[in-house]
A and B are shown apart, each in its own frame.
Chain A
Amino acid sequence: MNVNFSLLAPEYVLVGVAFAVLAVDLMLPRRHRFHLSWLAAGGLVLSAAVAMVLRWDTVETLYGGLFIADKFSLFFFVFLTVLTAVIVLISNDYVRQHIRQPGEFYALMVFAAVGMIGMAAAGELLTAYVALELLSFSLYVLVAFRREDARGNEAGVKYIVLGAFSSAILLYGISMVWGATGTTYYDGISEHLALNAGNLDSTLILGLALIIAGLGFKVAAAPFHMWAPDTYQGAPTPITAFLAVASKAAAFALILRLFTQALMPALEEWQVLVAVLAVATMVIGNLVAIVQSNIKRMLAYSSVGQVGFLLVGIAALGHIEGGAVIPVALASDAVMLHMVGYAFANLAAFTVVIAVSNHIGTDELSGYSGLVKRSPYLSLVMAVALFSLAGLPFFVGFLTKFYLFTAAAEAGLLWLAGIAMAASVVSLYYYLMVVKRMFIDDVAESDDTPLAIAIPRLSWMLLAGLLIGTVLLGLYPQPLADAVTAASGAILPGA
């Protein structure tokens, strides 16, 4: 058994950073503690750099296949740590105003990042499960961080109860798969499925269905999405962004590796199931978003809708030609691309939400009326972010949706692509309503806060970066697409 522990150096760095944050927290005077964000963000970026240096061309497994270091793991390592670093920085102003224990707050985010990286790199079901739980436990605490706030408590309780429930479902599914196949390793499951194609044990199928349902809970796919809006609304806004973007990206990393490396031979059994989940998620997420009056709830439902689009990509991971399963590389490319584009746009939106709510003290949509008069810059960023989420050209969302739906058609799921496009028209409606509020409507007369919104310099720069990224990736996507293709080449050999 190859146990090359130095391979895990980037993860050691991350864990070290988390403990360092906790330790430094004890030494700093209280009013300076929110500066810990720089330590956390710096550490996250450092670990990404270490990973890129050490693992650029590495294709190795640790502990006999529990942990896989390849281009796919590396892609998500860099993506997820940078994402977490950006969220840590975004939360700077929020933490200063609302959070009393910055040390724990940031350290937990770094621990969550370790869990997320494990999810992308796991080559075995229980390892994936443990990594997922590391993420979830960090989030259970983070979601309920505002203990004095009733909504925060509600959010925390809903999230922990449903999270534990879904973990149990997932674990039950894993145990059934183990019972039927005798293994929890992805490659072992894949072999078993390939050998018994066509006459799979019903226990195994039930196990797969339970795993899909459990993961469906984690990514808030309909009909398992009910926890999302309340949790998103009640959680501290940076954590809402974390839930909506980072934890979803990690869950999809896990799903991508699991479905391509373990479940691909049983495509016939799960493709329709995932497609139906995708349709339900797109339709419910986007329709219910229309009637929301709180921006965080609206973004929660919009992210449910986006999960639906990503599930379209998962359903399109392969197609059956003459009895054989042919993987569709475009689909796994597209899921990752869409994830990245979604991350840029959504983080931009949440950064605006934080800036606005720090100023006017509410997340109600009515507070966005006449935003252009308060801050043209925030309105521009928000409009770009929403347009990108709606999949409009110039912005990365247009390209990633185009890629995603082309992949679906390539897998013979043109009907699914058609439904997804229709859902994306619906989403345009509620995004446009927000744009209308910001640009056309006037500031509410009852609003007596000062008109102009002052944006802290750090947020200003983060917003500029996210804005430029959203536009630039939409206009010049080739480098990102190449990175993504390399990553999906690692999980789809021969495709």
Chain B
Amino acid sequence: MNGFDDSVLTLLVVLPFAAALALILWSGEGDQLRPMKWFSAGVALSTTALVVWILLRFDYTDGPQYQFISETDWLDQLGIGFDLGVDGIAVAMLALTAIAFPAAILIGWNVDARSKDYLILLNLLVGGVYGTFISLDLFFLFFFYEISVLPMYLLISFWGSSTSFPRFTRSKEYSAMKLVLFLVGGSVLIWVSIIAMFVQADLNSFSLIDMQSVGFDESFQKWVFPLLMVGFGLLGGLWPLHTWSPDGHVAAPTSVSMLHAGVLMKLGAFGIIRVGIQTMPEGAEAWAPLLLGMGAVNVIYGSIAAMSQTDLKYVIGYSSVSHMGYVFLGLASLHTLGVTGAVLQMFSHGIMTALMFTLAGAIYGSSHTRDIGMLSGLAKVMPVGAFFFAVAGFASLGLPGFSGFVAELLVFLGLFQTYPWVGALAVIGAGITAVYMLRLLAKVYFGETDRRWESLPDLKLNEKLVAGTLALILLVVGLAPFFLIDVIREGVRHIPAVTG
């Protein structure tokens, strides 16, 4: 390893925070905002470049579990170190973040009100996300996890939009506060678990590698694992604690929805693997059936709920809940195929949902409505948008050729090894997804074009660029998933709890 490999992760996590600080100190208004946008885009693309470097240099054939390790002592009294490192799972998640971050900055180009503050918060959020994925110390993992959740409050409550239902209005402030309190409430469970692990391990260390090798008592594992599962699962949209998620996604402005549904929810599932399954194999085994049951409800309930929504973004929001269900199912299988599929699904859903929110944002931005009842026949006026929405929809319902298919197939294969009947249940979920996705596509884009929408513009240049890239990635990963699967499996094979 050369010098750059040792510092690439530090650079990756410091860059967005440094950018946020630079923006805070950068005074300027009006015309001076444009350079700030270019600056943020530059930062986002630089992180992408760093991640590409990591992808290229990651040893995914027969390497050690964690690579690119850098360790710095931080607080001796508690044995906290600023330890960074990635395994295959983290690398896949970094790739997802490195795609979604510049995409979100590009889509956020349209934000005019207080766009400097907007960019600061986006940078903070993404810095937290990168940090969580690469931390090998529980203190810092938790530190970054909290950072990635909190900017959401301001992002939603200032730049978001409220939704009117026939009988009530769901205000953006309400959705923002609900989201934050749910997630911070969940983090209490994580926090309790982390310090319980610290005391139980008795090594005066918060290092994840130490925790993995400690071998906790079975009884300890059995009471701590569910706390981690629920605490992290909450951010992943685990039923029945998912209710913050559709509200939050809908209320958020487009680029924040993209990051939130696309990347942030994955932190939850990632945490279950990293902190839960990796350190507590017996706990994971004992609680896998519950995770399985909740995941199955996620899939079915999420898709049924999506079917009955009248708001475009709520459909996507509930479809996220349903798709995250596959992730939980894959994890609960504790089988190499299933877990690999789960991580691939995290990646694939991240890209797909970012694409969908981009398109929903484009419709809302020009028509100022998301009511499916009012929208119809948009394909005539926005053919490019219709094309990309079809791509996203097909990927979502698991059509072969798109990444979603590969991911769900792996999850099912993993599940059939351990729980054949749940596999069958999940297939039904995929069927329901097909129904609501196709119906949505037919209603919004095809059919009679309403007079109101005849002058609706098609996608703007930045939206085309983002949608094209995301769709391309869905297709490439769908047709040639081997590279990504190899990377992920390199991470999965080191986890003792995962068999097969």
Binding site for B on A (CB under 8 A): 330, 333, 380, 387, 392-394, 398-399, 402-403, 405-406, 409-410, 414, 417-418, 421-422, 425, 428-429, 432, 435-436, 439-440, 477-478, 481, 485
The reply to whether the CB of B93 lies closer than 8 angstroms to some CB of chain A is no
Task: Give every chain B residue within 8 A of A439 (Cβ-Cβ).
Answer: 117, 154, 158
Closest chain-A Cβ to B122's Cβ sits at a distance in Å of 15
Closest chain-A Cβ to B326's Cβ sits at a distance in Å of 30
Q: Do B192 and A417 touch (CB < 8 A)?
A: yes
Q: Do A403 and B78 touch (CB < 8 A)?
A: yes
A-B contact pairs, 19 of them (CB 8 A): A330-B78, A333-B77, A387-B150, A392-B147, A392-B150, A398-B146, A402-B195, A403-B78, A405-B191, A414-B196, A418-B192, A421-B191, A436-B154, A440-B173, A477-B75, A478-B75, A478-B76, A481-B76, A481-B77
Of A392, A422, A436, the contact of B146 (CB 8 Å cutoff): A392
The reply to whether the CB of B365 lies closer than 8 angstroms to some CB of chain A is no
Of B24, B117, B153, the contact of A432 (CB 8 Å cutoff): B153
The reply to whether the CB of B181 lies closer than 8 angstroms to some CB of chain A is yes
Closest chain-A Cβ to B115's Cβ sits at a distance in Å of 14
| A-B residue pairs, 7 tightest by C-beta | A421-B188, A409-B195, A393-B143, A409-B199, A406-B195, A393-B146, A418-B192
Q: Do B75 and A481 touch (CB < 8 A)?
A: yes
Residue on A with the closest CB to B143? A393
Closest chain-A Cβ to B220's Cβ sits at a distance in Å of 12
Q: When each residue 134-160 of chain B gets 1 if its CB lies under 8 Å from chain A and 0 otherwise, what string results? A: 000001001110110010011001100
Q: When each residue 156-185 of chain B gets 1 if its CB lies under 8 Å from chain A and 0 otherwise, what string results? A: 011000000000000001000100110011
The reply to whether the CB of B74 lies closer than 8 angstroms to some CB of chain A is yes
Of B147, B180, B192, the contact of A421 (CB 8 Å cutoff): B192
Q: Do A425 and B181 touch (CB < 8 A)?
A: yes
Cα distance, A75 to B296, chains bound together (Å): 57
Residue on A with the closest CB to B139? A402
In the complex, which of the residues B76, B77, B185 has the most CB atoms of chain A within 10 Å of its own CB atom? B77
Q: Do B146 and A440 touch (CB < 8 A)?
A: no
Cα distance, A392 to B150, chains bound together (Å): 9
Q: Do B199 and A414 touch (CB < 8 A)?
A: yes
The reply to whether the CB of B364 lies closer than 8 angstroms to some CB of chain A is no
In the complex, which of the residues B158, B180, B191 has the most CB atoms of chain A within 10 Å of its own CB atom? B191
The reply to whether the CB of B198 lies closer than 8 angstroms to some CB of chain A is yes
Task: Give every chain B residue within 8 A of A403 (Cβ-Cβ).
Answer: 77-78
In the complex, which of the residues B177, B185, B195 has the most CB atoms of chain A within 10 Å of its own CB atom? B195
Cα distance, A40 to B188, chains bound together (Å): 44
Known pairs A405-B195, A428-B180; A393 contacts B78 (CB<8 A): no
Cα distance, A428 to B150, chains bound together (Å): 10
Known pairs A409-B195, A414-B199, A432-B177; A440 contacts B139 (CB<8 A): no
Task: Give every chain A residue within 8 A of B154 (Cβ-Cβ).
Answer: 435-436, 439-440
Closest chain-A Cβ to B438's Cβ sits at a distance in Å of 39
Of A394, A405, A436, the contact of B173 (CB 8 Å cutoff): A436
Q: Do B195 and A417 touch (CB < 8 A)?
A: yes
Cα distance, A478 to B75, chains bound together (Å): 5
Binding site for A on B (CB under 8 A): 24, 74-78, 117, 139, 142-144, 146-147, 150, 153-154, 157-158, 173, 177, 180-181, 184-185, 188, 191-192, 195-196, 198-199
State the main secondary structure of chain A at its contact with B. Answer: helix
Residue on B with the closest CB to A429? B181
Cα distance, A105 to B75, chains bound together (Å): 41
Cα distance, A405 to B24, chains bound together (Å): 32
Task: Give every chain B residue within 8 A of A421 (Cβ-Cβ).
Answer: 188, 191-192
Q: Do A398 and B143 touch (CB < 8 A)?
A: yes
Beyond known contacts A394-B147, A399-B75, A477-B75: 16 more, CB 8 A cutoff: A393-B146, A402-B195, A403-B77, A406-B78, A406-B195, A409-B195, A414-B192, A414-B195, A414-B196, A417-B195, A418-B188, A422-B188, A425-B184, A435-B153, A478-B75, A481-B76
Closest chain-A Cβ to B153's Cβ sits at a distance in Å of 6
Q: Do A330 and B199 touch (CB < 8 A)?
A: no
Task: Give every chain A residue within 8 A of B158 (Cβ-Cβ).
Answer: 439-440
Task: Give every chain A residue within 8 A of B185 (Cβ-Cβ).
Answer: 422, 425
Known pairs A440-B157, A440-B173; A393 contacts B74 (CB<8 A): no
Task: Give every chain B residue within 8 A of A417 (Cβ-Cβ).
Answer: 192, 195
Task: Give every chain A residue within 8 A of B157 (Cβ-Cβ).
Answer: 436, 440
Q: Do B139 and A409 touch (CB < 8 A)?
A: no
Residue on A with the closest CB to B148? A393
Residue on B with the closest CB to A426? B181
Q: Do A428 and B184 touch (CB < 8 A)?
A: yes
Task: Give every chain B residue within 8 A of A478 (Cβ-Cβ).
Answer: 74-76
Closest chain-A Cβ to B310's Cβ sits at a distance in Å of 28
Cα distance, A403 to B147, chains bound together (Å): 18
Task: Give every chain A residue within 8 A of B74 (Cβ-Cβ).
Answer: 478
Residue on B with the closest CB to A421? B188
Cα distance, A481 to B80, chains bound together (Å): 12
Residue on B with the closest CB to A478? B75
In the complex, which of the residues A394, A405, A429, A435 has the most CB atoms of chain B within 10 Å of its own CB atom? A394
Closest chain-B Cβ to A298's Cβ sits at a distance in Å of 17
Cα distance, A481 to B192, chains bound together (Å): 22
Cα distance, A410 to B77, chains bound together (Å): 13
Cα distance, A154 to B144, chains bound together (Å): 46
Task: Give every chain B residue within 8 A of A436 (Cβ-Cβ).
Answer: 153-154, 157, 173
Task: Give every chain B residue within 8 A of A380 (Cβ-Cβ).
Answer: 24
Cα distance, A482 to B198, chains bound together (Å): 21
Of A333, A399, A409, A429, the contact of B198 (CB 8 Å cutoff): A409
Closest chain-A Cβ to B248's Cβ sits at a distance in Å of 15
Cα distance, A333 to B196, chains bound together (Å): 19
Cα distance, A410 to B199, chains bound together (Å): 6
Q: Do A485 and B77 touch (CB < 8 A)?
A: yes
Closest chain-A Cβ to B256's Cβ sits at a distance in Å of 15
Task: Give every chain B residue within 8 A of A428 (Cβ-Cβ).
Answer: 180-181, 184
Cα distance, A387 to B150, chains bound together (Å): 10
Task: Give every chain B residue within 8 A of A429 (Cβ-Cβ).
Answer: 177, 181
Task: Give every chain A residue within 8 A of B199 (Cβ-Cβ).
Answer: 406, 409-410, 414
Cα distance, A272 to B181, chains bound together (Å): 30
Task: Give every chain A residue within 8 A of B198 (Cβ-Cβ).
Answer: 406, 409
Closest chain-A Cβ to B172's Cβ sits at a distance in Å of 9
Closest chain-B Cβ to A478's Cβ sits at a distance in Å of 6
Known pairs A333-B77, A409-B199, A481-B75; A425 contacts B139 (CB<8 A): no
Closest chain-A Cβ to B226's Cβ sits at a distance in Å of 14
Task: Give every chain B residue within 8 A of A398 (Cβ-Cβ).
Answer: 143, 146
Cα distance, A380 to B188, chains bound together (Å): 26
Residue on B with the closest CB to A329? B77
Task: Give every chain B residue within 8 A of A481 (Cβ-Cβ).
Answer: 75-77
Q: Do B180 and A432 touch (CB < 8 A)?
A: yes
Q: Do A409 and B196 touch (CB < 8 A)?
A: yes
Q: Do B153 and A330 touch (CB < 8 A)?
A: no
Task: Give every chain B residue within 8 A of A435 (Cβ-Cβ).
Answer: 153-154
Task: Give every chain B residue within 8 A of A477 (Cβ-Cβ).
Answer: 75
Residue on B with the closest CB to A471? B21
Closest chain-B Cβ to A362's Cβ sits at a distance in Å of 24
Cα distance, A238 to B261, chains bound together (Å): 46
Cα distance, A414 to B192, chains bound together (Å): 7
Cα distance, A486 to B116, chains bound together (Å): 44
Task: Give every chain A residue within 8 A of B180 (Cβ-Cβ).
Answer: 428, 432
Residue on A with the closest CB to B199? A409
Residue on A with the closest CB to B77? A481
Q: Do B188 and A393 touch (CB < 8 A)?
A: no
